[in-house]
Structure 1
Amino acid sequence: MVQPPPARSLGQIGLIVGAATSLSKLGGLVRQLALAAAFGIGPAYDAYNYAYVVPGFLLILLGGINGPFHSAMVSVLAKRDRQQARQLLETINTMVATVLLLVTVALVLGADLVIDVTVPGLALAGKETTRQLAVVQVRLMAPLALLAGLVGLGFGALNAADAFWLPSLSPLLSSGAVLAGLGWLWWRLGADMGAPDQALLGGIVLGLSTTVGGLLQWLVQLPAMGRLGLGWPRLRWRWRDRGVWEVLRVMGPATLSSGMLYIAVFTDLFFASLLPRQGVAAGLTYANLLVQTPLGIVSSMVLLPLLPALSRLVRARDGEGFRRQLRWGLMVSIAAMLPMGALLMVLAEPLIRTIYGHGAFDSQAAELVGALLVAYGLGMPAYLARDVLVRSFYALEDAVTPFRVSAVSIGLNVVLDWGLTGGPTPAGPVLPFSFGAPGLVLATMGVNMIAALVLMIRLKAHELSLPWRPLLRDGLALLLATGAGSLAAALTSRLVAWPRGFVGGVLELLVSAGLGVVSYVLLAQHLRVAEAEELLQLLRRRLRGCAGPVSGPEAR
């Protein structure tokens, strides 16, 4: 079997994944710092975020950790020996590469149409330069469509073979490629690299370096797959293999379901392009990175080992174990996301000033990103809770339910985006009130909360529903602890006369966030929320470099 050995617990896997993901997120943060200092919310980077809509959507959807390709390969290959897994992987790779090669060609030939359809606001007066740059960048990043599918399939196969660190570490290669491109641009232009008259060259470098990063992610997995007996790239046309249809049965609806989730990104940028303010797309990206850094670490630590564990419990027909494992994943996620989101909200100003406040990143950019970060902080718990519940349905080989929920979510997201941003149209706003750009983030939060509730209810169809009363009780306890922690952090940040500059900002963040976390942990322990204690144990072991088991559901 290609499944992980029983001796390795969820806690051990979580430590490996968490460490690798932390390095990748650190690389992403450094990349974003360099982009902020080089371009701010100027036309080169603003256009890049619009151009990245389709290629990046495919890279995240198909090639991302916990994406549908990854999840389908893990759930199916974990039940097969290495030879069967290798043959099945070769066939699926051939099928996916054929389809995505056609998608790549279509993106190159139809780049103008892609931009005009996805972000029509760039055709308005004053945004022509941004549109031209976006078209060029779509063509440069089109190969990501092909690379995305290959990366997602390969990483799914590696996870099924108990190789977790490489998939979690590989995004560091993409960050490195972009940083190398920025380094070359700085060598050529120096401090003028972000000037408006150099926007075309900056946009080309961003597009090319992003594609090179995707290529490196695919190349780095090949030696590992060969070493694990999963083979090297090879064409195989065994379409009638029963395993192929088993993969497609999970992958097809899962891709549509997850794709609908990421259509929220399309919707957000569609309405962002219609807002009169410049730089909204860049601002969304800067704020989103500060959210995704902690969110990605916790997500990988919980979701990566959770899906194989739930799949094994389903195969063993252990319903009670499934409920315990699902509750563990859900409550650990909420226990981590509530304080993280609250700290991002109350410490938004010093965080942005310290991290981004350099070079071309001016006060207007700081004000925009700060407002967006507050909105993102509100939605972090709902985002991860929805992901945990979706994985539980994948483990049950029920991709239809998440698909239906996501289909309804699309329409709801469009309505909320339109309403919370004041009803923007090419002719101007329709509604008399508006949250502006933060309304786009608040709309996504509302969609995720409703979707998570629906998925919880739909578990009843599989006779695996979780008891609501303990969840609500522990959730309210965590919310109370979060309030105490965020209050401690806010008072520390505002009442102390912190020194200015980068060092002073780091000191303010460390002390304020530290007191906030300590207050949260002490109250959560006092209120006896079991998963909060388990999360604390997991983090303690990680800080000590210990690989021993944690007191999670599998260890009990």
Structure 2
Amino acid sequence: MNAYAFAYVIPGFLLILLGGINGPFHSALVSVLAKRDKSESAPIVETITTLVSAILLAVTVFLIVFANIFIDVLAPGLDAATRSMAIQQLQIMAPMAVLAGLIGIGFGTLNAADQYWLPSLSPLFSSVAVIIGVGLLAWLLGDRIDNPQYIQLGGFVLAGGTLVGALWQWLAQVGAQVKAGLGKLTFRWDWRIPGVSEVLRVMIPATLSSGMLHINVYTDLFFASFIENAAASMRYASFIVLTPLGIMSNMILVPFMPIFSRLTEPENWGELKQRIRQGLLLTALTMLPFTAIFIALAFPVVRVIYQRGAFNLAASEQVVPVLMAYGFGMFFYLGRDVLVRVFYALGDGDTPFKVSMVNIFLNGVLDFLLYKPFGTPGIVLATVGVNIISMGIFTVILNRRLGGLPLGEWGLSLLGLTVITMLSGVASWGASWGWEKVFGAGNIFLQLLQLGFASTVAVGLFLLGAMLLKLPELDLLISRVRQKFLKKS
């Protein structure tokens, strides 16, 4: 798993950077296609797809040929066997570079046509493919799966499953895209179409800005290579955190992007400020309960999800503090993204790019200062620190640009939610401790009940406290949840 953590860095970086919802490709296409008819959209999509595919195909070849150099730069501290495995896994996953671009184009195209369910669901295909691959291997090998002679085979299955998952994700999107008349699988080099230049004007600076943010991952893994099992611990913990982050990102950022864009004229700045507040408060209302759970119940969470087979108590103890650090930073991660989208709506891609450039240096300094005294959690906390500083910078700039923001009012609301989060975390920890004392946690059934009970205490107390604050954003959040639930019913 440690080799895979390093091998996945570049393919995963490209998949998140280019292929993610709210990524630069998604943002660029939504901003342009949402203003046009479907008949105008197809040629734009086909031309952009052709250009992106050509560029990323060259990137794929480059990754395959120079995989050894990339692994050595990312992880100079790896032993020979882990290094060899990481190189081979990177070569297997290299075609994800092309797929990442195509997935990002598909996200933006479908969202511009008001199709949200498939883009939201399709990332699951990647996880399902990996689970199927690893599950089949475990079924075929049984207890022998941990034998040294099968380590290489397991690495190939893990990398191959990741590649197949990305391919599956793209194929699911392209079918819906063709059916909706939003472009076919065809080569088109018609650069004279006005919409193409508009997409590129947004896509290029947005890609550079997003890329600078994700380059911090390289810095983190450079320092992680000097700590035993640090990369694997970060990978396991991030898997847990990314699920709620991804879901809430879709719920908050996707609807707010077009709203911010329609409110950029000075006469609409009053409503724009209100919408920024909504974005930040909704982020806090959705992320802070997870912060309480992941900090207070980190060990029960890791134990239920991972602790079986080769993943023993010692492995759990390595992942737990890393999960706590990730949990602490969830609000700042998503809150920064909300503010970045405001700058994009204002037509300013330069400010996020400049801040991202500074963040690369800042992240390296914080990693260097924190990785020795705090170990793996220190590397995660360095990234959290960068996000906190970025939020502060963006807030100060927006405060000046928009003629003042009601920062005192916003700050009091966020402070109240922070206090509620702390109380909820303490209460849920006490509930978990009490459950284990009374009922024990000797099997997975009791562990699930313990985690469910303590999590319910955390969420329940948080909601109760938030109600006492009488935040209008809480009513908005409850309304959205009810609408989704009633639609499914």
1:106 aligns with 2:62: yes
Counterpart contact for 2:41–2:183, Cα < 8 Å: no
Question: What is the match of residue 313 of structure 1?
Answer: 263
- 2:398 maps to a residue whose letter is L
- Match 2:396 to one of 448, 457, 463: 457
Q: Alpha-carbon deviations, 1:69-104, whole Å to 9, x = none?
A: 111111111111112211111111111111100000
Q: What is aligned with 1:510?
A: 452
| Amino acid of the structure 1 residue aligned with 2:439 | W
What amino acid does structure 2 have at the position aligned with 1:259? G
Tell which deviates more after alignment, 524-533 or 227-236. 524-533
CA distance in 2, matches of 1:520, 1:198: 47
1:271 is matched by which residue type in structure 2?
A: F
Deviations 1:487-539 (A, max 9, x none): 21111111232332111111111111111211111122112222233323433
The answer to whether the aligner puts 1:180 opposite 2:121 as a matched pair is no
1:128 aligns to 2:95 (yes or no): no
Match of residue 25 from structure 1: none
SS at match of 2:415: helix
Residue of structure 2 equivalent to 1:359: 309
Identify if the C-alpha distance between structure 1 residues 542 and 498 changes in structure 2 by more than 3 Å, giving closer, same or farther.
farther
Residues 352-408 of structure 1 show CA distances to partners (whole Å, capped at 9, x for unaligned) of 112211111012210110010111111111111001111111122211111111111
Secondary structure of residue in 2 paired with 1:121: coil
- Write the mapping of 1:435-446 to structure 2, written as runs, cut at 5 A: 435-446=374-385
More relative contact order, 1 or 2 (CA 8 Å, 6+ apart): 1
Q: Aligned pair 1:90/2:46, yes or no?
A: yes
Paired residues of 1:457 and 1:465 also in contact (CA < 8 A): no
Instruction: Give the number of aligned pairs.
Output: 486
After TM superposition, the structure 1 = structure 2 runs for residues 239-318 of structure 1, keeping only pairs within 5 Å, are: 239-275=191-227, 277=228, 279-314=229-264, 318=268
- Measured in 2, the distance between the counterparts of 1:242 and 1:315 equals 23
Give the structure 2 partner of residue 524 of structure 1.
Answer: 466
Deviates more, 1:490-499 or 1:157-166: 490-499
Distance 1:533 1:58 in 2: 37
* Alignment-derived partner of residue 472 in structure 1: 411
State the alpha-carbon separation in 2 of the partners of residues 479 and 98 from structure 1.
48
State which drifts further: 310-319 or 89-98: 310-319
Checking the alignment, whether the CA contact within 8 Å between 2:216 and 2:360 is kept in structure 1 is yes
Residue aligning to 2:330? 380
Give the match for residue 74 of structure 1.
Answer: 30
Contact 1:481 1:524 in 2 (8 A): yes
* Equivalent residue, structure 2, for 1:198: 150
CA positional deviation for 1:314:
3.0
Secondary structure of 1:313's aligned partner:
coil
Task: Report which stretch shifted further, 440-449 or 526-535.
Answer: 526-535
The sequence identity of aligned pairs, in percent, is 48
Return the alpha-carbon distance in structure 1 between the equivalents of residues 460 and 377 of structure 2. 30
Distance 2:325 2:337 in 1: 19
What per-residue deviation string (whole Å, max 9, x for no partner) do you get for residues 111-163 of structure 1? 111101111111xxxx2211110000011001000111011011101000000
1:461 Cα deviation (Å)?
A: 5.2
Equivalent residue in structure 1 for 2:350, among 383, 400, 415: 400
Distance 1:83 1:315 in 2: 29
Is the contact made by 1:181 and 1:209 (CA closer than 8 Å) also made in structure 2?
A: yes
> Structure 1: how far apart are the matches of 2:124 and 2:451?
25
Aligned to 1:551: none
TM-score, scaled to structure 1? 0.85
Q: What's the RMSD between the two structures over aligned residues?
A: 1.6
Mapped partners of 1:211, 1:188: distance in 2: 21
Deviates more, 1:504-513 or 1:158-167: 504-513
Instruction: Indicate if the aligned counterparts of 1:379 and 1:445 stay in contact, CA closer than 8 A.
Output: yes
Cα distance in 2, alignment partners of residues 317 and 112 from structure 1: 55
Quote the residue 1:371 is aligned against. Answer: 321
Query: 390, 405, 411: which is aligned to 2:361?
Result: 411
Counterpart AA for 2:440 = P
CA 1:419/1:194 → structure 2, altered by over 3 Å: closer, same or farther?
A: same
User: Structure 2 vs 1, CA of residues 268 and 150 (structure 1 numbering), >3 Å: closer, same or farther?
Assistant: same
Q: Give the whole-Å Cα distance in 2 for the aligned partners of 1:456 and 1:229.
A: 41
Tell me, in whole angstroms, the C-alpha distance in 2 between the residues paired with 1:120 and 1:541: 51
The correspondence for 1:137, drawn from 89, 107, 115, is 89
Secondary structure at 2:77's aligned position in 1?
Answer: helix
Match of 1:535 in 2: 477
Show CA shifts across 1:143-196 (max 9, x none).
Answer: 000111011011101000000011110012111211221133123322222333
Change (3 A) 1:461 1:316: closer
Mean CA deviation greater in 225-234 or 254-263: 225-234
**Distance between the aligned counterparts of 1:379 and 1:478, measured in 2?**
15
**What is the letter of the counterpart of residue 101 of structure 1?**
L
C-alpha displacement at 1:540, in angstroms? Answer: 4.1
Cα distance in 2, alignment partners of residues 376 and 172 from structure 1? 22
How has the CA–CA distance of structure 1 residues 491 and 357 changed in structure 2, closer, same or farther, with 3 Å as cutoff?
A: same
Structure 2 residues not aligned, in runs of 5+: none
Mapped contact 2:291–2:421 kept (Cα < 8 A): no
Measured against aligned partners, the alpha-carbon deviations of 1:224-244 in whole angstroms (never above 9, x if no partner) come to 112222121111112243322
The equivalences for 1:482-521 within 5 A come to 482-496=421-435, 497-500=438-441, 501-521=443-463
Given that residues 47 and 189 in structure 2 are in contact (C-alpha distance below 8 angstroms), is that contact kept between their aligned partners in structure 1? yes
Confirm or deny: 8 A CA contact 2:339 2:395 kept in the other structure: yes
Alignment of 1:200-239 (within 5 A): 200-239=152-191
2:292·2:458 contact (CA, 8 Å) conserved in 1? no
Report the residue type matching 1:414 in the other structure: G
Aligned CA distance change for structure 1 residues 332 and 202 (closer, same or farther; 3 Å): same
Distance 1:79 1:317, change over 3 A: farther
What is the distance in 1 between the residues matched to 2:143 and 2:265? Answer: 59
SS across alignment from 2:225: helix
Q: In structure 2, what residue type is equivalent to 1:324?
A: Q
Q: Is 1:62 aligned with 2:18?
A: yes
Tell me the residue number matched to 1:22.
Answer: none
Q: Which moved more, 1:514-523 or 1:366-375?
A: 514-523
Distance 1:336 1:154, change over 3 A: same
SS of the counterpart of 2:439? coil
- The verdict on how the C-alpha distance between 1:53 and 1:465 changes in structure 2, with shifts beyond 3 A counting, is farther
Deviation at 1:271, TM superposition (A): 0.7
